[in-house]
Amino acid sequence: MKLKVAKTYLRVWLKLTSQQFQSQVANARGAALLFIFGKLFRLGTAFLMLYVIMGRAKLIVGYTMPQAILILALFNFVSNIAQLFMRGIYMFRQKVVDGTFDFYLLNPLSELFYSLFSATDPMDTLLIFPYLGLVVWAWINSGFPLIFSSVLFVLIVVVIAFVLIMSWHIIILSVGIKYLEVDNTIMLYRDLEKMAAIPIEIYGKTGSAILTYLFPFALLATIPARLIFGLYNPWFLLGFVALAILYLKLSLFIWSRALLSYSSASS
Amino acid sequence: MKKYLSIFSITLQEVFTYRLNMVMWRVRQIFVFLIPFFIWRAVLGGGGDIYGYSFAAIMTYLFGTTILRSLVMGSRTIDLGWMINTGALTIPLMRPFNIFKFFFIRDLADKLFNLSFMFIELPLIYFVFHPPIFLQTNAFYLLCAMSSILCAIFIFFYINVIFGSLAFWTRDIWAPRFLLMVIMEFATGAMFPLDMLPEMWQKIMLLTPFPYLLYVPLKIYLGQNISLIPQFIWVIFLGLITKIIWQKGLSRYEAEGR
């Protein structure tokens, strides 16, 4: 039964994504190219900044330049995977304001599914490949072997990180329902997330602890990098699995509470 | 004058309508400062300098860019593209005031809002982290810096109107706007001082209007550059371009959606 439900969700998601892709190809080809160029430019400038600083400083909180580059590459890869699926959050406020959210509530599938996953950006998919290539290049360049166990650990971390990121997105959507505010909250979330693009040790002991346990963005780059460098015990990942489950349950609870306060005032 | 004061007051009221939105926006501005602060503290906190910047110099630059971002880059004109696409531009066009003045007054209200909060947030950051900063006392440099900031405000305003006006020709304005934002983040010197780049790159950057928004005004404040001429040229050039584009765009405006 559960498999059947999962298949239904997958079918609807594929249909929505395909429609999104068709719409972009038909209406916004140039815009999509500019968007991809912008993202690559931003990535390039982030690497340039790292190069400019580490070209002179050599070491940053104990990491060499190739190691810091790997952390930045991992961050962009993992963060982009999550963003790719959850673009719907950027349009959510408008949907609450104009009443479209009422239709989500009437659908037989979960309103949360529509709110979060209905606007997967297919153009973002194209960026996964350069980002992945960058991770592989940076990994090899860092001098650490590209072995099966390390790859497996990184993949496990990506899955845990995805669940945690999804939980935070659900909380932000809940804030959107309650206070009609999403845009700056999601951007604030992105700012927080961006802190993980560099080794989190840079933020001191308190900052590192916050970014590891409270807002576990360390999972996006520093922890997988430490796993690759052999500086992290993989068994600790079990603790993050528990944390991810806890966050997901908490976010779903907050979502259900927020729905109770939805007044459908716009429709 | 009274009608422009009303626009100013209404814009401020708009900002305060969604209070959580406003709070989140302000918290974001603190993060804009914190991330580079921690990076530079890790690199220069123990002493020494890179590219001629000590920790105190880079902190002054960082504090400066944070204030200037609010002052120069606080803007309501970014709504222009949306106003054209939805037909909402029709309403201010029909009202008895100069449309550029209307946009500029709205920008000024946004800047005042940002700046007033900045005066609460920056002392807070200062007392928590105690970053060493340099305060300019030379009246000449301060005067030049103020003139430079004024030019920067106009340059940013014209760039925004030009990019917003793209909506007269295309509905897809989010992508050019995103690209502009990404380029500005780097080319204004907001990420790091542009004189950390190789000289050739610096020269290329200075041929664009972007460094004149943050980097050049700050260099003037620090007394390392007092040439205001390129900024004046950009203000005049962009002002002319803006008027031409606006007139051409307006002739295509169909008030679609109204």
Compute the average pLDDT of residues A133-154: 90
Q: Give residues 19 to 38 of B whose Cβ lies within 8 Å of A.
A: 20-21, 24-25, 27-28, 31-32, 34-35, 38
Q: Are the beta carbons of A221 and A78 closer than 8 angstroms?
A: yes
CB atoms within 10 A of CB B128: 9
CB atoms within 10 A of CB A4: 7
Say yes or no to pLDDT of A267 above 70: no
Q: Are the beta carbons of B199 and B112 closer than 8 angstroms?
A: no
- Name every residue whose Cβ is closer than 8 Å to that of residue A26 and which is 6 or more positions away in sequence: none
- Name every residue whose Cβ is closer than 8 Å to that of residue A28 and which is 6 or more positions away in sequence: B172, B175
Q: How does pLDDT run across B159-183, given as a tens digit for each residue?
A: 999 999 999 998 878 888 889 999 9
Say yes or no to pLDDT of A266 above 70: no
B48 — pLDDT class (breaks 50, 70, 90): confident
Lowest model confidence (mean pLDDT) among A38-52, A205-219, B44-58, B224-238: B44-58
d(CA B197, CA A49): 9
Query: Using CB atoms, which residue from B21, B51, B170 is nearest to A181?
Result: B21
What are the structure tokens assigned to A104, written together? 């989500």
Report the mean per-residue pLDDT for chain A.
88
Single-letter amino acid code for the residue at A151: V
User: Helices B19-44 and B2-17 sit at what angle, rounded to 10 degrees?
Assistant: 80
Query: Using CB atoms, which residue from B20, B39, B175 is nearest to A35?
Result: B175
| Closest residue on chain A to B35 (Cα) | A195
d(CA A140, CA A81): 21
Closest C-alpha among A235, A169, A47, A54 to residue A223: A235
Long-range pairs for A221-226 at CB < 8 Å and ≥24 separation? Answer: A221/A71, A221/A72, A221/A74, A221/A75, A221/A78, A221/A196, A221/A197, A222/A71, A222/A196, A223/A157, A224/A74, A224/A78, A224/A153, A224/A154, A224/A157, A224/A158, A225/A67, A225/A70, A225/A71, A225/A74, A225/A199
Predicted confidence at residue B187, as pLDDT, reads 94
d(CA B44, CA B62): 13
**Does residue B204 belong to the interface with chain A, where contact is any CB pair within 8 Å?**
no
Query: Using CB atoms, which residue from B39, B170, B179 is nearest to A198?
Result: B39
d(CA A144, CA A117): 36
Chain B residues with CB inside 8 Å of A30's CB? 170, 172, 175
d(CA B192, CA A53): 9
In this prediction the ipTM stands at: 0.84
% of chain B exceeding 70 in pLDDT: 99
d(CA B202, CA B187): 10
List Cα–Cα distances, A101 to A92, A106, B147, in angstroms: 8, 9, 49
Q: How does pLDDT run across A65-112, given as a tens digit for each residue?
A: 899 999 999 999 998 888 888 888 888 888 888 888 888 888 888 999
Long-range pairs for A248-253 at CB < 8 Å and ≥24 separation? Answer: A248/A163, A248/A166, A248/A167, A248/A170, A250/A167, A250/A171, A251/A166, A251/A167, A251/A168, A251/A170, A251/A171, A251/A174, A252/A112, A252/A170
Q: Which residue has the higher pLDDT, A254 or B98?
A: A254
B185: three-class secondary structure by DSSP: helix
Predicted confidence at residue B54, as pLDDT, reads 86
pTM, full prediction: 0.86
Phi, psi angle pair for B53, to nearest 5°: -100, 120
Q: Are the beta carbons of A208 and A200 closer than 8 angstroms?
A: yes
Radius of gyration of chain B (CA): 19
Q: Are the beta carbons of B64 and B27 closer than 8 angstroms?
A: no
Q: Give residues 97 to 156 of B whose Cβ lies within 8 Å of A.
A: none
